[in-house]
């Protein structure tokens, strides 16, 4: 089963890789140890993302890019853990399977920031289904109001509702 679980990281510009290398190295090591797929996607270099994800805001573009990537790979990826490029593995003694719903009814899992009850946009676990891909597209196309909004993190709350 592990081989159909993927860790996906999306970087907009390839030259930014060096900024995230320490964190990405920990994730690569973790993925290799547990036999997970690891995908590093450079959004600006990927023609399909440029064509299908026209968002100007890079935060929204990433969620759209993920929806596209999961659609393209729906035969080989059952579950995807999306993480921000600057996130590293601190406790490698936990597997991704521990967070997968055994009844397979839950399609997306976000986490809550303990200090303000906000649903965090920076990492989430998805079952690769039409519903979760549609959710990502809905979220990534959300039109922000002209006031304080917190970009994709604000839009996430509206999308969840």
Ligand X SMILES: *[C@@H]1O[C@H](CO)[C@@H](O)[C@H](O)[C@H]1NC(C)=O
List interacting residues with ligand X (CB under 6 A).
Answer: 21-22, 25
Nearer CB in complex with ligand X: 32/149 = 32
Nearer CB in complex with ligand X: 27/159 = 27
**Tokens standing for residue 3:** 């081989």
Nearer CB in complex with ligand X: 22/158 = 22
E strands in 53-101: 79-83
Nearer CB in complex with ligand X: 84/118 = 84
CB of 125 to ligand X, least distance (A): 25
Closest CA to 67 of 133, 139, 146, 159: 133
Nearer CB in complex with ligand X: 21/48 = 21
Strand order in the sheet with 123-127: 37-42, 5-11, 79-83, 123-127, 108-109
Closest CA to 132 of 153, 160, 99: 160
DSSP code of residue 14: G
**Cβ-proximal residue to ligand X, closest one:** 25
**Tokens standing for residue 131:** 């519903």
CB of 87 to ligand X, least distance (A): 15
**Tokens standing for residue 14:** 């390839």
For residue 152, the SS3 value is: helix
């Amino acid at each position: 089963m592990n081989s159909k679980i993927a860790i996906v990281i999306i970087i907009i510009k390839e030259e930014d890789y060096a900024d995230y290398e320490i964190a990405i190295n920990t994730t690569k090591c973790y993925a290799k140890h547990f036999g997970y797929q690891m995908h590093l996607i450079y959004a600006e270099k990927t023609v399909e993302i440029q064509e299908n994800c026209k968002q100007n805001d890079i935060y929204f573009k990433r969620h759209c890019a993920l929806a596209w990537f999961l659609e393209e790979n729906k035969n080989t990826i059952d579950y995807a853990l999306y993480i921000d490029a600057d996130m590293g593995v601190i406790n490698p003694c936990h597997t991704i399977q521990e967070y997968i719903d055994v009844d397979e009814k839950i399609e997306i899992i976000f986490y809550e920031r303990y200090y303000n009850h906000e649903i965090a946009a920076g990492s989430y676990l998805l079952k690769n289904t039409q519903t979760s891909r549609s959710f990502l597209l809905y979220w990534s196309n959300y039109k922000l109001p002209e006031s304080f909004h917190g970009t994709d993190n604000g839009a996430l709350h509206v999308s969840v509702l």
